[in-house]
Structure 1
Amino acid sequence: MKGFVLLLAWMGLVSPLALAAEAPLRITQLQRCGDLLTGTNQQWCLQVSGLGEQRPTVWLGDKALPVQAVQRQGQVITLHLQASQHRSAPLWLEAPGQRSNPVWLSLNSSHVLAARPDEVAKNMDGLTTYVDLVSLLIEEQHDGLAEARRIADKYGARVVGAIPPLNTYQLRLPAGDLMQRDALLLRMGSEASVDAVIVEESAPERGEEGSADSAQPVLERDEWAANRFMDAVYYYRKRIPAAQAPIKVQPVRVGVIERNVDFDAPDFAGYSGGCTAGVGRLCVFARDAGKPDNHGSSVAGILAADWQAGGNSGFLFGLDKASPGFEVIVERNSDAGITANIAASVNLVEDGVRVLNWSWGIHRVGAKDIQGDEVDSLVRSGLAMSGYEELLEEFFLWLRAKHPDVIVINSAGNGSSRSGTDEYRLPSSFITDQLLVVGGHQRAEQGARLEEPGYVVKRDSSNVDMRVDISAAACIRASTAQVGQPGAVHCGTSYATPLVTATVAAMLSINPALTPEQLRMLLRRSAMTLGQQQDFEAMDGEDLTAPILPSERNGQLYHPDLGRSARLDMQKALELAVQSRDRVR
């Protein structure tokens, strides 16, 4: 319907104001604008659709912004906020008879700019790269902003963006082509205070990080049965309010690093307007997408989609009245690729997110798959990868020092490659308790029982090796525009990852004291198995995750699970989370 109305407008058959009046009120973009470095008088720009001539009321949390703080020019609304007078909160618009989707506005200081189409070029590897926007990671002993400004003045650049907790600052260079840029990079990279130079390689309009294998599954049955999805929902609904020993659960805030969600899809239509998470109440905050089967809707839908046959069925939504209230924040800061992903992650962590879903990752140019062929999806040059690696390392060092209770759930990737070495894949190669890596499996053809290793098989495209902690079902039905319409089949580790994220969020609601190391341990202890038994030699095509060890089976040296790959068991993981409360006492 959206596309039909837009076509009529393009043909001149519908006026822009009539188009706005007919279309639902939606926020499609929300980004910092003006001076991104000021922390006090912040300026925000909203791109809005469906807004007629009337002036909307702008809500930030439970407060309506004063009229003088809101400026409108067509379908663009500019907000002027005193950061000291507000806190990070959902923002939404209200007009007569309409409420927009809520988006998350973070008043924290990490924001970067994306390049416009005329500010990118193709490098020697044939990859899209930014010409005049780069970021500097400043050594921690320096005042990052002061040093970035000194370097910028020295080379005729300007500081335009920042991730202050990571001492990272974005510069706009006086460069018109890649030769000029690279000459400046060499000189700036040699500055004693510069730890790394981060070059962005991504499309200016549409990010590639979320691309996924879309091949059909072997069987079109409920893939989630392999992870006991419905069993886990039933267990949570019955165990939490149990009359004999009810469990007091705690709300959890989840961050999903994705671009947007389609609020016209039945999966998300119920999330418009203001939302406060509470008992039995789930909130979703995101920019609006133009179509229901986009990557963000599919990933977020596994967590939060309404259960009305509109494509997905969200696990957290299914917890119903037993739920303490979850907030799912879908946020990506800007379209500035990996740098924006990290900026958004930093802001969300500072806003209280306990679980981050990273359904993205990249391979280095020249990376080989397990057959020895080159990986051709989501590749980046060595120059970009070295900068990303330094930025990600700084992020996880910051997490460990300042937010040790936060866990990041990351997709292993779909290159049929290895996840555990940085020359192949980022960020899954990082070794830290705060990063949990998820591979993908699918249903097998033979009629094995659910508990048997042969019930599922590794997806051929899923990345493998010892760095993969656990696997989950990789195939889902995408969100659709109408109730009852079957969604297209999407497959990839991007969709296995939020199954684990949802499980971890539910575990933390049961026992908020669980650390990332303990969460990983409980997921592995509760896991079912797949595949053949492994040894500790180099991984082959049948090995998906790190092999299950005796310590993960109560020290039983002859347990039949030993040596096999780990498959997510959502119900058993929740049971162990409940048991962990008793052990703490």
Structure 2
Amino acid sequence: MRRQFPVRALSLLLASHLCATATPADEPLRLKSLQRCGDLFAATKLTFCLRSEGLGSETPRVLLAGQPLPAEQIERNGETLRLRLHSRAHASGPLWLEQQQRRSNPVWLSLGGSQVRAAGPNEVATNMDGLTTYVNLVSVIIEEDLDALDTARQLADKYDAELVGAIAPLNTYQLRLPVSNLTERDALVLRLGNEVGVDAVVIEESGAEAAERDDGDKKPQTSEWAANRFLDAVHYYRQRINARQAPVETEPLRIGVIERNVDFDTPAFADYLTPCKADERRTCLYARDGDAPDSHGSSVAGILAARGQEAQDMGFLSALDGVGPGFEVIVERNSDAGITANIAASVNLVEDGVRILNWSWGIHRIGTLDVEGEPVDSLLRSGIAMSGYEELLEEFFLWLRREHPDVLVINSAGNGSARSGRDDYRLPSSFITEQLLVVGGHQLSDKRELPVEHPDYVKKRRSSNVDMRVDITAAACTRAATRDGKAPGEVHCGTSYATPLVAGAVASMLSVNPRLEPEQVRELLRRSAMTIGADFEAAEADDLTAPILPSERNYQLDNRDVGRSARLDMRKALELAVDSLQHRR
């Protein structure tokens, strides 16, 4: 007699089987983090640790630049994968996972050797200024005339430290010190700083570098991008590039955005989960997946690459799809090791061919006063930390000038209503170099009946940092993405969001004329700029930007724009970039 299986048990077993097989296919496959691990100093045999969500029981396919990695190079432990690559067999490129007809978000895997480690929760402490600081991880900058790696190893041996990270092009090496508290650290840092061959010691404060926060001022209810002629620029590019008479040849461009992640569960970014090739004349976005549609990274990247039904809902570069040459937007952060990680990521991206870096971040020194004499309370660092960061940034820009003179860094001026050019109180916007362009923020005035070109159409956003070091201003507010894509997102404001407007405009200009040098880009932005503000003020007054000069208005001393602050005109800047092609011939 055949034995019957109990109906209830059979039902439970079937339900369990369905859950086990259906759930992974229903869950989104997301790539949450990707970092170098193992021996960070290995030159050829590289190891990367990848953390994902939504993996099923099978080991997924891992594709780098569209080519699957052999199974023997992949080791799985739960949701974590270890990838073993040989630098001679691969190049930097987008990496993603595929499993059961699902595809993860693509991230950028850089084979660059600049890698630094972040402190764990037990490796930080609160210093006398009330700031969180790394206890046992510091970086040393070695003098240029020495063998930097050999010197760093000697220092590690001398102080019983461990060499754990490096930004070799900047002669910077990260050490794990044998200390357990800040008193021991400070004593050892003092000794390290006095060593022959050590240019500076970099101390990280406040854990992972926070982005420029929302400035907290009153937020608009309507889009402010009209003040920079956003849609006019989109229309001009789409019409002019493919014009029947004298069409314009364009070249693809790679843009680096120093941010943590992007939320791919929002409609604004969901399209990037499908295969993307920049040579198909479209914008491609590579980023780690985040959990918040209104995160800083999502908002900054969205101004460049968000997708929507209407042009006003799209990022500037994605609005050029089908006509533009193809833009690659890489959102990358290296690790959560503060300013040092920002610079390490920037070095790798530049070596990977990035032409523009978007830095929507910056820091103030403790004691910084705003234009009204009140203390600034955002993104503060101690004096000792600022001095180390300043040396690191100086090394970066010296390296850029020497090795990559065509790269342009576009940086937010900051939201402290302070002076952006005070190098002892604000970084990195205070650096004077042709390869750093600084962006302030403006907002619409109450005089909406005026034409967009009128200086009173906009006004300074109260929180924006100011002074002669600011090159240009742009609209400071944007709407965050949402998960359903129907209801409008919350408005975020700050110079962080003005910066990618300028980065997008510059990217389109360089796609038209890639031979433009950083100083020429600045010149075209200033020549094309609309104005904001009152007449020229005394040198010690608080101009929003460097005042427009007669040389920026064809040497017309009586031009009404002379003496006013500069406001981004995206369309006119594009027109001048097209006109510049005639001069190069």
User: Could you say which residue in structure 1 is the equivalent of 2:324?
Assistant: 323
Which residue of the other structure, out of 496, 503, 506, is the alignment partner of 1:494? 496
Asked if 2 retains the 8 angstrom alpha-carbon contact of 1:92 and 1:274, the reply is: no
Distance 2:38 2:129 in 1: 34
User: How many Å separate the matches in 1 of 2:418 and 2:27?
Assistant: 44
Kept in 2: contact 1:136–1:194 (CA 8 A): yes
- Where does residue 103 of structure 1 map in the other structure? 107
Q: CA deviation at 1:126?
A: 0.3
Inter-partner Cα distance in structure 1 for 2:45 and 2:362: 35
1:177-211 Cα offsets, whole Å, 9 max, x none, are: 0001001101111001100000001225xx41332
1:544 to 1:273, Cα distance in 2 relative to 1, 3 A: same
- Counterpart position of 2:550: 550
SS in 2 for 1:84: coil
**1:482 paired residue number:** 484
Which of 160, 164, 177 does residue 160 from structure 1 map onto? Answer: 164
1:44 counterpart residue number: 48
Counting only pairs closer than 5 Å after superposition, residues 153-552 of structure 1 correspond to structure 2 as: 153-204=157-208, 207-217=209-219, 219-308=220-309, 312-447=313-448, 448-540=450-542, 543-552=543-552
- 1:360-394 per-position Cα deviation (integer Å, ceiling 9, x unaligned): 00000000000001100001000110000000000
**Helix, strand or coil at the partner of 2:46:** strand
C-alpha displacement of 1:52? 1.3
Q: Using the alignment, how far apart are the partners of 2:311 and 2:488 within structure 1?
A: 7
Q: For 1:54 and 1:113, how far apart are their aligned partners in 2?
A: 31
What corresponds to 1:32 in structure 2?
A: 36
Q: Which residue of 1 aligns with 2:146?
A: 142
CA displacement 1:155-185 (0-9 Å, x = unmatched): 0101000000001000000010000100110
Which range moves more in the overlay, 531-540 or 179-188?
531-540
Q: Contact 1:310/1:483 (CA < 8 Å) preserved in 2?
A: no
**2:106 corresponds to which letter in structure 1?**
P
Contact (CA 8 Å) 1:267, 1:310: kept in 2 or not?
no
Deviations 1:285-325 (A, max 9, x none): 00000111100000000000002379952000111211100
Mapped partners of 1:311, 1:122: distance in 2: 45
Please give the alpha-carbon distance, in whole angstroms, between the structure 1 residues aligned to 2:569 and 2:242.
22
Unaligned runs of 5+ in 2: 1-17
Is residue 311–residue 478 contact of structure 1 (8 Å, CA) maintained in 2?
no
**Aligned-pair distance for 1:354?**
0.4
Q: Tell which structure's C-alpha radius of gyration is larger.
A: 2
- Structure 1 residue 536: deviation in Å? 4.0
Mapped partners of 1:437, 1:17: distance in 2: 52
Cα distance in 1 for residues equivalent to 2:23 and 2:428: 43
Structure 1: where are the runs of 5+ without partners? 1-13
Query: Which residue of the other structure, out of 87, 91, 109, is the alignment partner of 2:91?
Result: 87
Structure 2 match to 1:5: none
Residue 230 of structure 1: how far off its partner (Å): 0.2
What is the alpha-carbon distance in structure 1 between the residues aligned to residue 90 and residue 204 of structure 2?
32
Further displaced range: 95-104 or 277-286? 277-286
Q: How far apart are the structure 2 equivalents of 1:210 and 1:58? A: 34
- Secondary structure class of the residue paired with 1:580: helix
Structure 2 CA distance for aligned equivalents of residues 462 and 475 of structure 1: 12
Shift of 1:539: 2.5
Indicate the SS of the match to 1:31. strand
Aligned to 1:7: none
8 Å Cα contact 2:306-2:314 kept in structure 1: yes
- Give the residue type in structure 1 aligned to 2:230: F
Is the CA contact (8 Å cut-off) linking 1:282 and 1:327 kept in structure 2? yes
Q: Which segment drifts farther, 274-283 or 427-436?
A: 274-283
Q: Which runs of 4+ in 1 moved over 6 A?
A: 14-19
Q: Which residue identity lines up with residue 49 of structure 1 in the other structure? A: E
- Report the counterpart of residue 8 of structure 2 in structure 1: none
Amino acid at match of 2:487: Q
What value does the CA root-mean-square deviation take over the aligned residues? 1.5
User: Can you list the C-alpha shifts for 1:384-432, whole angstroms capped at 9, x where unaligned?
Assistant: 1000000000000000000000000000000000000112210000000
Contact 1:20 1:49 in 2 (8 A): no
Which residue number corresponds to residue 9 of structure 1? none
Name the CA distance, whole Å, in 1 between partners of 2:276 and 2:20.
Answer: 30
Which residue identity is paired with 1:192? Answer: V
CA distance in 2, matches of 1:479, 1:60: 28
How far did residue 280 of structure 1 move?
Answer: 2.7
The residue type equivalent to 2:483 in the other structure is A
TM-score where L is the length of structure 2: 0.95
Aligned pair partner of 1:56 in 55, 60, 65: 60
Please tell me the residue identity of whatever aligns with 1:478: A
1:188 counterpart SS class: helix
Asked if the contact 1:310–1:481 (Cα under 8 Å) also holds between the matched residues in 2, the reply is no
Q: State the 1:43 CA deviation.
A: 0.6
What does the per-residue CA deviation read over 1:132-177, in whole Å, with 9 as the maximum and x for residues that have no partner?
0000000011111111010011001010000000010000000100
Given candidates 119, 129, 132, the residue that maps to 1:125 is 129
Q: Aligned pair 1:582/2:565, yes or no? A: no
- Whether the 8 Å contact between 1:267 and 1:307 is mirrored in structure 2 is yes
Residues 441-487 of structure 1 show CA distances to partners (whole Å, capped at 9, x for unaligned) of 00001232211001001000000000000000000101110122201
Normalising to structure 1: TM-score of the pair? 0.95
Question: What SS is found at the alignment partner of 1:278?
Answer: helix
| Superimposed CA distance per residue, residues 459-516 of structure 1 (whole angstroms, 9 cap, x where no aligned partner) | 0000000000000000010111012220100000000000000000000000000000
| Alpha-carbon contact 2:217-2:463 (below 8 Å) kept | no
Aligned residues: 567
Q: CA deviation at 1:273?
A: 4.5
Contact 2:212 2:415 in 1 (8 A): no
Q: Work out the CA distance in 2 between the residues paired with 1:250 and 1:313.
A: 21
Distance 2:557 2:306 in 1: 42
The equivalent residue for 2:116 is 112
Report the Cα distance in structure 2 between the residues aligned to 1:539 and 1:93, rounded to whole angstroms: 55
Q: What secondary structure does 1:437 align onto?
A: strand
Q: Is the 8 A contact 2:256 2:354 kept in 1?
A: yes
Equivalent in the alignment of 2:565 = 565
Q: Distance in 2 between matches of 1:17 and 1:143?
A: 56
CA contact (8 A) 1:215 1:490 kept: no
Query: Is contact 1:413-1:463 (8 Å) kept?
Result: yes
1: CA distance, partners of 2:571 / 2:86: 46
- How much does 1:84 deviate? 1.0
2:94 alignment partner AA: P
Deviation digits for residues 526-545 of structure 1 (CA, Å, limit 9, x no counterpart): 000001012342123xx210
8 Å Cα contact 1:121/1:128 also seen in 2: yes
The answer to whether the 8 A contact 2:141-2:198 is kept is yes
SS of structure 1 residue aligned to 2:163: strand
Distance 1:177 1:483 in 2: 48
1:545 is matched by which residue type in structure 2?
Answer: T
3-state SS, counterpart of residue 497 of structure 1: helix
Q: Distance in 1 between matches of 2:202 and 2:425?
A: 18
1:275 CA displacement? 2.4
* Distance change in 2, residues 1:311/1:380 (3 Å): farther
